[in-house]
A and B are shown apart, each in its own frame.
Chain A
Amino acid sequence: ELKVEQNPLFLSMQEGKNYTIYCNYSTTSDRLYWYRQDPGKSLESLFVLLSNGAVKQEGRLMASLDTKARLSTLHITAAVHDLSATYFCAVVEETSGSRLTFGEGTQLTVNP
């Protein structure tokens, strides 16, 4: 059974600081996604990572994938308040078709 673990689960940081969220998964996967969720809202797709060594960047967020280590990171550079949200990684197990298995989510709060 595929397990996906994120850490930290809660992250409080100051504006302007950098930090990294980690996503570990337990079995072979060929696709990993990062989503953002604002309170009371649905999930917004941020990144799709499809191969070992893939790196995607959008604004202050950068995601990477190491399939050998079964690890993805979401790096936040010079955080701003607008980045406050819950971030989920989700993995597609190779043998499962297309079902997503989600991590627990990381609740990020960026303080002024």
Chain B
Amino acid sequence: GAGVSQSPSNKVTEKGKDVELRCDPISGHTALYWYRQSLGQGLEFLIYFQGNSAPDKSGLPSDRFSAERTGGSVSTLTIQRTQQEDSAVYLCASSLLSTQPQHFGDGTRLSIL
């Protein structure tokens, strides 16, 4: 399809395990964002990639969280040593330019047991 694609759609894992979440942005979109949505915290910014510039990592909650974007397209968000408070829906968005509306994927629902 033409939208932002995220996988997996659901992920259940045990506390302490590492997880990788994938985002495939809309073709041609130079800007890519990660957010998370949880009941207690609402929608929070995590990280932002724009072209070949250094990413804005200011929203990452701890050093257990990291993200990369390979070849200016697909992005992977990695959470190491997961904790129960990491349970949330992780949303990826992309935009044609940083000044354009962000288009969101369906998200990955992450549950930490």
Contacts and interface: CB of A to CB of B under 8 A. Distances in A.
Please indicate whether A and B come from the same complex rather than being unrelated chains. Answer: yes
B35 A100 contact: yes
B99 A31 contact: yes
Contacts of A101: 45
A44 B44 CA distance: 17
A106 B8 CA distance: 28
Interface residues of B, number: 24
State the main secondary structure of chain B at its contact with A.
strand
A41 B3 CA distance: 14
B31 A98 contact: yes
B76 to A, nearest CB: 19
State the main secondary structure of chain A at its contact with B.
strand
Given A88-B43, A102-B43, A105-B42, A97 B56 contact: yes
A44 B101 CA distance: 10
A45 B102 CA distance: 8
In which size bucket is the chain A interface? 10 to 19
Contact of B101 (A33, A42, A102, A105): A33
B91 interface: yes
A99 B59 contact: yes
Interface in B64-113: 91, 93, 95, 98-99, 101-107
A99 B45 contact: yes
6 contacts: A41-B106, A42-B107, A98-B33, A99-B33, A100-B35, A104-B42
Interface of B: 31, 33, 35, 42-45, 48, 50, 56, 58-59, 91, 93, 95, 98-99, 101-107
